[in-house]
Chain A
Amino acid sequence: MRYALTLLIALTALFSASLTGCKDKGNDAGGGGADEIRVGVFLSLSGANADFGKTTKNGIDLAVEEINEAGGINGKKLVIIAKDTRSKPEEAQTVAKQLASQDKVAVAIGSVESGQSIKAAPVFQEAGIPMVSPSSTNPDVTKQGDRIFRVCYLDDFQGQACAAFAYKDLGFRKAALIYAQDDDYSKGLAQYFREAFKGMGGSIVEEAPFQGDVSEFKDQVSKIAAAGPDVIFAPVYYAKIGLIARDFRKQGVTVPLVGGDGWESPQLIQLAGETLEGSYFGYHYDPDDQDAKVQGYLKAYSAKFGSDPNSLSALGYDAVYAVKLAIELGGGSSADQITEGLRKIKDFKGVTGTFSIDENRNAKKSITMLKIGGSNLSKVKVIKPEDLK
């Protein structure tokens, strides 16, 4: 009977002995020494979504390298402390605690997946550290606290923009939906598209969600094919859309597909073959934009990593520059000053477009609808937030 107690004592002793780090009292989240600014990064670097994290990290690394080579910010260098969330939301909370208490970062950047950002947000909020998500588009993310920001547009805007584009610009009235039921991003976009499309007078003729890491969509496709839509909204990630498009074409469905920014990847056209020709997706910027900033970024990225960037890299890149601007606007590199600075961001010109941070700490920016050709993308239309009002 006594061993229950013994066990507890033994366990406590074991831990007390093994813990090397004692609590460092009185040191607030100042973010490093006099000549550096510590930036915490938490992303999926391994596991099912490792690709998202790695490409985002590339963008972040590129921006930090550029800033440090140019002399840093007010003479201070940016130091990146990157943690792997292993594609698990609960690990995001664990590494957030590491970044906040052990590494004492001044600002955190992450994550791509909204689920991870939602789990990490309360930690940074409680620790008084601002968090900037580069690409979590779920509306709930920034509702987790007044220090939680993002530099991407939201699912509601993106879903509405895609609906307006399909209804008004392409003139379609019968839409079908295929989406991942267990993915926040996919399900959220589908929901906002559905509401907006119906609101304009269109009809959703069929919905065929899927769950889990599936790679075949025969049944969903058969179901949608039977309903005879004239456009299909498929808010999924690029790894899936190629397979989905292939299954649609195999069953003789040739209507265009429309999707969100998750489609974008240098591999998109390769994975889909010609099956996505004539389809459209909403994106953060136009890769053929002749703007010097965009072209400079594209060149620097391929020079450093030997591959083309994707939207996640660009958003990671912009997140770092937004932090830089925040430090300049806030007048210093403490957590509070960066938070203040982030709130003040107006008309920031990034690679992914010009945006301001609104009162809900979200980026207000426009969406560019791209059309997929044989081996290239072309800009069809730019939709601004005010266009939908």
Chain B
Amino acid sequence: MVPVASVDFTSQLLQYFANGVAKGSTYALMAVGYTLVYGVLQLINFAHAEVYMLGSHFAYYQAKWGGYLPDEPGAKPESVPILLVGAFIAIAMLACAAVGMLIERVAYRPLRNAGRLAPLITAIGVSLFLQYGGQVVFGTEPKLFPTFVETEVFEIGSVKIPNTNLLIVVTTFVLMLGLTLFVSKTRPGAAMRACSHDMRTAKLMGINVNATISLTFAIGSALAAVAGVLVAMDQPAITPLMGVRIGLKAFVAAVVGGIGSIPGAALGGLVLGVSESVVGGLWDTNYAEAVAFVFLIVVLLLKPSGLLGKATREKV
């Protein structure tokens, strides 16, 4: 039974490509958080996914308290004015930055000299704490995310791209560009690079290592907040466990791209998103989930340091 395709192969492929780019952009935005922290501390910050969850919830509660969600079920939520959207996102970013710094201060800093695995376990602890704490505080039912932008769909040929997806791609691109400039051109950025290169020497050179690490967490967490809000705008139902899956994917993307490298995170996210969409679409959506991991293993075996990662040679 061969389905009669109403759309030709090329435009179908382009559609999957467009889907994948949008999906990959969110992976990339999240992957940056993992990669920044890993670059500086060599720590997989499992709690990053929960910061993403908090980001969308912070924005949700602001809009709710601002009266932009209807009380009775069934009523359509009115859209939030664009200036307020900006304010809500900015506040969510600040709040998440604070949460990120707090997590680092409480759970990671006391363990900075305790080897690699102890902070990993506290990271898992923080992640569980926020997941279950979120369920206790926010409730477990999915919540309708307020309308930050009215959905509009652009058609290019037969390829359909919703404005929310476009927004994700553009925002991610701008933020990644900004971040790259920040890291390469500013003094705090130089401090971050120095810390990631050799923390002890950086300290000797007079760099405030603690402040730099806090800054790293703040930036990563703020970007996670943006990702949380952007995804919630496209997929407007949020839950306390929404970070788990995307967190894992984003971490895989960071590793595929070469952990520690910002362009690597962007590339890894995009490659992962596009390959998931194209393989799922053209072959079987059933296996789309496995694609990410197969890809991961292949990349790691061919180039253990990731696509754009620097190979480290062991000193004898």
Contacts and interface: CB of A to CB of B under 8 A. Distances in A.
Per the CB under 8 Å rule, do A and B touch in the complex? yes
Interface of A: 46-48, 50-51, 54, 181, 203-206, 208-216, 218-220, 222-223, 225-228, 239, 242-243, 246, 250-252, 266-267, 269-271, 273-274, 308, 375-376
Given A216-B234, A270-B70, 11 more contacts: A47-B241, A205-B3, A210-B289, A211-B286, A211-B288, A215-B235, A219-B280, A219-B281, A228-B4, A266-B73, A273-B76
B68 to A, nearest CB: 14
A169 B73 CA distance: 30
A137 B198 CA distance: 58
B144 A267 contact: yes
Q: Which secondary structure dominates where chain A touches chain B? A: mixed
A226 B285 contact: no
Contact of A267 (B1, B142, B277): B142
Contacts of B237: 215, 239, 242-243, 271
Nearest to A253: B160
B16 A219 contact: yes
A239 B239 contact: yes
Contact of A269 (B74, B239, B286): B74
Contacts of B19: 218-219, 222
A331 to B, nearest CB: 40
29 contacts: A47-B241, A209-B286, A210-B289, A211-B289, A213-B242, A215-B242, A216-B231, A218-B165, A218-B277, A219-B20, A219-B277, A219-B280, A222-B12, A222-B16, A226-B5, A227-B4, A228-B4, A228-B5, A239-B239, A242-B237, A246-B236, A250-B151, A250-B162, A267-B73, A267-B142, A270-B144, A271-B237, A274-B76, A308-B73
A271 B23 contact: no
B70 to A, nearest CB: 8
Contacts of A220: 280, 285
Nearest to A55: B141
Nearest to B288: A219
Contacts of A215: 231, 235, 237, 242
Contacts, number: 126
Contact of B75 (A181, A206, A375): A375
Contact of B142 (A206, A239, A269, A376): A239
B185 interface: no
* Residue of A46, A51, A219, A243 with most partner-chain B CB within 10 A: A219
A250 to B, nearest CB: 5
B256 interface: no
Contacts of B47: none
A215 B285 CA distance: 14
Nearest to A228: B6
B50 to A, nearest CB: 14
Contacts of B235: 215-216, 243, 246
Nearest to A210: B285
Contacts of B209: none
B153 interface: yes
Given A226-B12, A250-B153, A266-B73, A209 B285 contact: yes
Contacts of B75: 270, 375
B208 interface: no
B210 interface: no
B111 interface: no
A223 B281 contact: yes
A212 B277 contact: no
* Residue of A222, A223, A375 with most partner-chain B CB within 10 A: A222
Interface string B159-193: 01010010000000000000000000000000000
A105 B74 CA distance: 41
Interface string B1-26: 10111110000100110011011000
B201 interface: no
Contacts of A225: 7
Nearest to A266: B73
A208 B245 contact: no
Given A50-B135, A273-B76, A274-B76, A219 B241 contact: no
Given A214-B245, A242-B237, A270-B74, A222 B281 contact: yes
B244 interface: yes
Contacts of A242: 144, 236-237
A87 B144 CA distance: 22
A222 B15 contact: yes
A57 to B, nearest CB: 12
A73 B14 CA distance: 65
Contacts of A271: 142, 144, 236-237
Nearest to B234: A216
B315 to A, nearest CB: 38
Interface string B25-55: 0000000000000000000000000000000
Contacts of B231: 215-216
Contacts of B142: 51, 239, 267, 271
